[in-house]
Amino acid sequence: MRSITTFDIQYAHRFYRFQGEAQYLHGHTGVLTIEVEDTVNEGVNMVFPCNEIQKTAWSVIKNFDHALILREDDPLLPAILDVYAKQGIKNGAPTNTMKGEAFSNELCTAYPDCRLVVTKETMTVEGMIKMVYALLKDKLNIAKITFTSGVNAASQEFKPEGTKDRCPLCGIALDENGVCPKCGYRKR
Ligand SMILES: [Zn+2]
Ligand SMILES: [Zn+2]
């Protein structure tokens, strides 16, 4: 069975060199849906608590929220960083507190201090799904990701491997020693 969680993500981007209005900088509220598949954990009668999926995913995904997402070869990137540097906000500002953990992989690098994500590919809804999967596949048993933004929508199914050992009392994943990080339950 699946536990399903949805997030709103507000972001600005553009499709560099795309022949259409999307080549101009613009913003969206995107809706990201993550489906986690596993056995039903009998202790709590859930696959996984959705608020825990939210916490795990959001710690990473929030780097895309209220962020500017630009492709690595977009000339807007150095131009904007130059403005941020001159304004003294490139390396952070006291009011910029809702930051995720910085990440970097082959598809994207997050710069939470200036709310920027630099991507290898154009950040379409398809591109977002590829990035989210790469960032979260080791943390969650992802079976499907859907991303919608304006009139654009895409989804991709994945084959989760195996099952995660979860706490029968609170439902979250046990650590490598079989101990629940939340309530201290210990697997015998
Ligand atoms: Zn757009
Ligand atoms: Zn527990």
Confidence check: pLDDT of 126 > 90: yes
pLDDT at 63: 97
pLDDT bin (cut points 50, 70, 90) of residue 36 is: very high
pLDDT at 49: 96
Which parts of 38-141 are beta strand (E)?
A: 67-71, 108-111, 116-119
Confidence check: pLDDT of 188 > 90: no
In a domain, 179, yes or no: no
Mean pLDDT (the chain, rounded): 95
In a domain, 23, yes or no: yes
Listed residues: CB within 5 A of ion ligand 2:
167, 169-170, 180, 182-183, 185
- The amino acid present at 109, given as its one-letter code, is T
Side-by-side strand order, sheet with 152-157: 108-111, 116-119, 67-71, 2-13, 26-37, 142-149, 152-157
- What is the CATH classification number for the domain harbouring 56? 3.30.479.10
CA of 168 to the centre of ligand 2 (A): 7
Ligand nearest to the CA of 150: 1
pLDDT digits (tens, 9 = 90+) for 3-19: 999 999 999 999 999 99
Confidence check: pLDDT of 161 > 90: no
In a domain, 184, yes or no: no
Total-model pTM: 0.93
Average pLDDT over residues 129-135: 98
> Which of 2, 10, 101 is CA-nearest to residue 50?
2
CA of 60 to the centre of ligand 2 (A): 23
Q: Which domain holds residue 31?
A: 2-157
Ligand nearest to the CA of 124: 1
